[in-house]
Chains A and B, each alone.
Chain A
Amino acid sequence: MTEQPQEPLLSVTGLAVDYGTGRRRARVVEGVDLAIPPGRTLGLVGESGSGKSTIGKAVLGLVPIAAGSVVFEGRDVARLSGRERRALGARRQVVFQDPYSSLDPTKTIGYTLAEPCVNRPAGERMTRQQIADRMGSLLGRVGLGPDAAHRYPAQFSGGQRQRIAIARSLMLSPRLVVCDEPVSALDLSVQAEVLNLLAEVQRDLGLSLLFISHDLTVVRHISHEIVVLRGGRVVERGPAERVYEYPEDPYTQSLLASAPVPDPDEQQLRRDARRALAEQEG
């Protein structure tokens, strides 16, 4: 990879996040540094409870930051006024894990897609026609017909809903999309389709993605760089291929060994590797 260092679109420095208050306060993320250059994808991997989703929420401004900073487009998001933060929503979007909970069941798809576009601050206002055009082209882009706009979430499958969620995240032409386990609730075949779609829009639109998953194999295909998280701390980071092929940290190795693969011979090798790792640790 030979390219000159760019100003990162998102940089997270020394991030710490606490949950709970008073004596029940617990630090779930501690001293995490991340940087995503424009048009690149960072994969964030870890087991459940490792703090990966919390980092995503901190980047989105959904949880308070206890220490450190989140700088997006050169500005510290914690120090923005309410209006600036709302404006930021246009350039920083999200796709969540659960396709059943991520769309309001009482609203049509058209309403859900258009909602972030209305009542924007003066500079980025869109006309009704612009919104409709954009909706049509994005629905086509994620493989759904324009008639989808008049239908309700209950009329779509999980995979289709996740496509709708991706379309929604792109309505405002964001520069960063946080994908929090976007495929882990889907069937294997649908997973591949949605992953390909994400990789495609990332490339075509020059998006930056913060891709969060517990599955290293999923993250590998879509990421340029991978950060491995355990217990709220970074244990390994590096280019995607390197981390996947030659993991250095024992935790990354066990994470890799724990993922099942369709090839039985490969699976046997992994099982042996996992046992060896377990004996080393125990």
Chain B
Amino acid sequence: MIRLIVTRLVLSAVLVVIASLAIFVLMSFVPGDPARTILGANATPDLVARLREQLGLDQPLPVQYGEWLAGVLHGDLGQSVLSGDPVAQLIAVRLPVTLSLLLLSTLAISVIGTVVGLGSAVRGGPLGRLLDTVSLVGLALPSYWVAIVLVALFAVAIRVFPATGYQPFVDGPVPWFLSLVLPVAALSLGGITIVAKQMRDSALDVLGRDYIRVLRASGIRERSIVFKHVLRNAALPSLTVLGITVVGALTGAVFVENVFVLPGLGSLVTQATTSHDLPVVLGVGVVFTLVVIVVNLVVDVLYGVLNPKVRVR
């Protein structure tokens, strides 16, 4: 287990370099010039050139990337081209928002998905058939569309939740939670249906196994069979799906933060991309890459805990 974690950490450094390089190359293709953005459309070419030189934008691309990477290795993510604020500070302010959103969504997806999937498999009947249909619909609905519908329903038509904005956790957990209900709902709805469907299918598969029949014939209580055997065995494939879903929610968070005007990393990176603020885009990219690595690591560790076949080597 420890070897797994160490290997992953080494690998994550390589991944961060690859991901940032990809972002860098892609951003260099995006039309736009931060110097012109700062100075406005009426600036003289001379002025623009001087600012470009000041910002280091006149350097060849490999040199620019090399300088950025050298800074990162010294713990310096650079400054925003637009505001001049340190990127690390910008991220530190906005990270709690995105993490709150992601953690609550992961919680909602895993808990609700498991309960609905397992329940529909064990109870069967109409709930199961409904889930089979709804999961297809849930898969097809993009989270930003769900977000807009949720705002129209629960913030405009029935005013129970705030439509936009974020309340920090330190100002009290209740406003924090209320401000996140709709964003989390929008972000996790698709994931819930996918995890529930996976859970239902694997639970049905487990329920058809002979060891379940043996336990039933032996007079073991159904509740004990469901929790000790069905849940445990069906959790394995569902865990893989959950990992993929959470990584997908990271992308979804960018949209959802924009719809709900949440001051998180998603809205930061959107602004930075449109204004061609390369250091900020790269910084957020690094953070997102790290989140993906951590999610995958957690999934792998949990997989080892749940599955003796992985553990016994």
Binding site for B on A (CB under 8 A): 57, 60-62, 85-90, 92-94, 96-98, 101-108, 112, 115-116, 119, 152, 154-155, 165, 168-169, 172
Contacts and interface: CB of A to CB of B under 8 A. Distances in A.
B219 A85 contact: yes
A89 B220 contact: yes
Contacts of B213: 57, 60, 62, 94, 96
A119 B221 CA distance: 9
Given A90-B219, A115-B220, A116-B220, A105 B308 contact: yes
A93 B218 contact: yes
Contacts, number: 76
Contact of B217 (A61, A101, A165): A61
Contacts of A86: 219-221
In this complex, the member of A57, A96, A104 whose beta carbon has the largest number of chain B beta carbons within 10 angstroms is A104
Given A96-B213, A104-B229, 9 more contacts: A86-B219, A86-B220, A93-B217, A102-B210, A108-B308, A116-B218, A116-B220, A119-B221, A155-B312
Given A115-B220, A116-B220, A101 B308 contact: no
A96 B210 contact: yes
Contacts of B306: 106
A89 B217 contact: yes
A107 B306 CA distance: 10
Q: Which 4 A-B pairs have the closest CB atoms?
A: A89-B219, A86-B219, A102-B210, A89-B218
A107 B217 CA distance: 19
B59 interface: no
B271 interface: no
B50 interface: no
Contact of B312 (A97, A112, A152): A152
B238 to A, nearest CB: 14
Given A152-B309, A152-B312, A101 B211 contact: yes
Interface string B68-84: 00000000000000000
Contacts of A92: 217
B215 A101 contact: no
Interface of B: 209-211, 213-221, 224, 229, 232-233, 306-309, 312
Contacts of A97: 210
B129 to A, nearest CB: 15
A148 to B, nearest CB: 14
A107 B214 CA distance: 14
24 contacts: A57-B213, A60-B217, A61-B216, A61-B217, A62-B213, A87-B219, A89-B217, A89-B218, A89-B220, A90-B218, A93-B218, A94-B214, A101-B210, A104-B232, A105-B309, A106-B308, A107-B229, A115-B218, A116-B218, A119-B221, A154-B309, A155-B312, A168-B214, A172-B218
Contacts of A103: 211
Contact of B210 (A89, A98, A152): A98
A62 B211 contact: no
A155 B309 CA distance: 9
B235 to A, nearest CB: 9
A92 B219 CA distance: 10
A62 B214 CA distance: 9
Contacts of B224: 119
A60 to B, nearest CB: 4
A87 B218 CA distance: 8
A104 B219 contact: no
B232 A106 contact: yes
A188 to B, nearest CB: 22
Given A89-B218, A101-B211, A154 B233 contact: no
A93 B312 CA distance: 30
A112 B211 CA distance: 9
A177 to B, nearest CB: 11
B233 A106 contact: yes
Contacts of A106: 229, 232-233, 306-308
A98 B210 CA distance: 8
B229 A88 contact: no
B158 to A, nearest CB: 42
Contacts of A108: 308
Contacts of A61: 216-217
Contacts of A85: 219
A105 to B, nearest CB: 7
A16 B302 CA distance: 47
Contacts of B221: 86, 119
In this complex, the member of B209, B215, B217, B309 whose beta carbon has the largest number of chain A beta carbons within 10 angstroms is B217
A105 B237 CA distance: 14
Contact of B211 (A57, A102, A154): A102
Contacts of A119: 220-221, 224
B121 to A, nearest CB: 17
A88 B216 CA distance: 11
Nearest to A87: B219
A245 to B, nearest CB: 34
Contacts of B309: 105, 152, 154
Contacts of B210: 96-98, 101-102
Contacts of A62: 213, 216-217
